[in-house]
Amino acid sequence: MIFRQVPVGPMQNFSYLIGDGNSREAAIVDAGWEVDKLIDICNEEKLKITKIILTHSHYDHVQKADELASKTNAAVYLHESDFNEIKKAIRNPNIKITKIKDNDEVKLGKIKIKIIHTPGHSPGAICLLAENRLLTGDTLFVDAIGRTDLPGGDSIKLFESLQKLKKLDDNIEIYPGHDYGDVPFSTIGGEKKTNPYFKCDTKEQFLNLLGMF
In angstroms, what is the minimal distance from the CB of 148 to Fe ion?
11
Count of chain residues binding Fe ion (CB under 5 A)? 2
CA 153 to chain centre: 16
Q: Are 212 and 200 in contact (CB under 8 A)?
A: no
| Residue whose CB is less far from Fe ion, 25 or 85 | 85
User: How far is 207 from 51, CA to CA, in rounded Å?
Assistant: 37
| Residue whose CB is less far from Fe ion, 25 or 138 | 138
Stretch binding Fe ion (CB under 5 A), from 26-34, 52-60, 70-78, 168-176 = 52-60
Contacts for 86 with CB less than 8 Å, ≥ 6 apart: 54, 57, 62, 65, 76, 78, 124
79: contact with Fe ion by CB under 5 A: no
In angstroms, what is the minimal distance from the CB of 57 to Fe ion?
8
By CB under 5 A, what part of segment 10-49 binds Fe ion? none
| Residue whose CB is less far from Fe ion, 58 or 133 | 58
In angstroms, what is the minimal distance from the CB of 14 to Fe ion?
12
By CB under 5 A, what part of segment 121-160 binds Fe ion? 138
Q: Are 29 and 135 in contact (CB under 8 A)?
A: yes
- For 149-170, give the DSSP string: SSTT--HHHHHHHHHHHHTS-T
Residue 183: its H or E element: none
The C-alpha torsion from 181 through 186 and 189 to 193, rounded to 10°, is: -20
| Residue whose CB is less far from Fe ion, 47 or 126 | 126
In angstroms, what is the minimal distance from the CB of 176 to Fe ion?
11
In angstroms, what is the minimal distance from the CB of 178 to Fe ion?
8
Q: Which residues bind Fe ion (CB under 5 A)?
A: 58, 138
